[in-house]
A and B are shown apart, each in its own frame.
Chain A
Amino acid sequence: MPELFKTPFEKSSEGDEFGNMVSTISQIREFFKMGDEITPFLTELFAFLKDLMPLMTEVNQSLHLSTDKLPAASTSISKATTTTEAATFQVMDKLEDITGKLTRLMDKQGDQEMDLIQSIQDDIMETMDTLQFQDIAAQQLEHANRILEAIFNRFSSLFESLDRVRMTSKFGQAILEALREENAGENFEKHSADFHEVTKDIIRNDNVSQDDIDQLFNS
C-alpha cells in the first residue's frame, strides 16, 4: 500500500499504543457495565448477610449450649441402663423366691391344688421371660448414646475449626467483630436460661441419699 493511504496511526508505533489504549478503555467500559449489573445483586447479598448475622449468632450459641449438654445426656442414658438392670434383678429375685415357696407348697397339697400351683409357676416364668425388655431397651439406649457421642465429637471438631479461623484470619476476626456489634442489643442470656430450664436434669441425682434428704427436711 502506498505511504499516502495509510492512516497516521498505522504509520508509527504510536498508532499501536493508541489502539491498545482504545481496547483497554473498551474493556474498562465493559467492566463497569458488568459492575452496574452486579451492584444490585451485591447489595442484596450484603443485606441478606446482615439479616443472617443475628440468626447465625443465635444458632452458634444454641449449638454450643446443646453440645455442652450432650455428655450429661449420655451419662443419664448410661445411668438408666444401670438402674433398670438393678430393678430387673430385684424383680427376678422376688419371682424366684415366690416360685420356691410355691414348690414347697406343692408338697403339701392335693392334685387339684398342684395343677393350680403349677399354672402359677408357669405364669411367673413367663413374667420372668418378659423381663428381656430390659436388655432390649438397654441396647436401644446404647444406640442413642453412640449417636449423641458422635454428634458431640462432630460439633467439638467444628467449634475447634471455627476457633482456628477466628484466631488466624483477619477476615474471621472482622466477621466476629461485626457480629458482636450487630447483636449488641440481643438478650442471649435469656435464650440461654430458657435452654437450661428446658434441658435441666429432672431425674433424682444419685449423689443425694434418702438420709441426706431426710436430714435436709429436719434441719
Chain B
Amino acid sequence: MIDKTVLYVDDSPTMRRIIQNALNRIGITNTVEAENGKDALEKLAGIDPGMIITDWNMPEMNGEEFVRTVRENEQYKKVPILMVTTRGMKDDVMTAIKLGVNGYVVKPFTVDVLKAKISDIIS
C-alpha cells in the first residue's frame, strides 16, 4: 500500500499497539512509532516518511503543534497526515483542516475505516 515508512504518533501504548496491529492487517509493515509530537520530530529525522498518523491530545507536544511544525518544514510539508483522535467536535475537525491535515478519524475506529482513509490520502 505504501512503500515508504509510516510514522504513527500516540501517547497511549494501547493505541500504538492497536494502530500497529491494524496497519499490519492492512498490509503496512514498514512503520515507526512515537510517543508524542516532540518524539515524532526526532524520529522523522531518521526516516523517509510516506505518511504520518497522529493523535491530538498528547503531552510534551500535542498533535496540533506537531502538525503545524511538520507543515512549516520544507522537507516534510507534503507528507500526508492522518489525524486519529478522540476529539470529534466540528471545530476540532475545522482546526485540523486549517492546519493542513489530509484525513481525520475519530476514535474508536475500525480497521476498515482506517484502511479507507489511508487509501483516500495516498491516492
Contact = CB atoms under 8 A, between A and B. Distances in A.
User: From DSSP, what is the main secondary structure of chain A's interface residues?
Assistant: helix
Interface in B73-112: 86, 107-111
Interface stretch (A22-30, A42-50, A84-92): A84-92
Given A136-B86, A136-B107, A136-B108, A129 B12 contact: no
Nearest to B10: A135
A136 B57 CA distance: 11
A135 B11 CA distance: 9
Interface residues of B, number: 17
A134 B14 contact: yes
B13 A125 contact: no
A89 B110 contact: no
A129 B15 CA distance: 9
A143 to B, nearest CB: 9
29 contacts: A85-B13, A88-B14, A89-B13, A89-B14, A92-B17, A128-B18, A128-B21, A129-B22, A129-B109, A129-B111, A130-B108, A131-B14, A131-B18, A132-B15, A132-B107, A132-B109, A133-B108, A134-B14, A135-B10, A135-B12, A135-B14, A135-B15, A135-B86, A135-B107, A136-B107, A138-B12, A138-B14, A139-B86, A142-B57
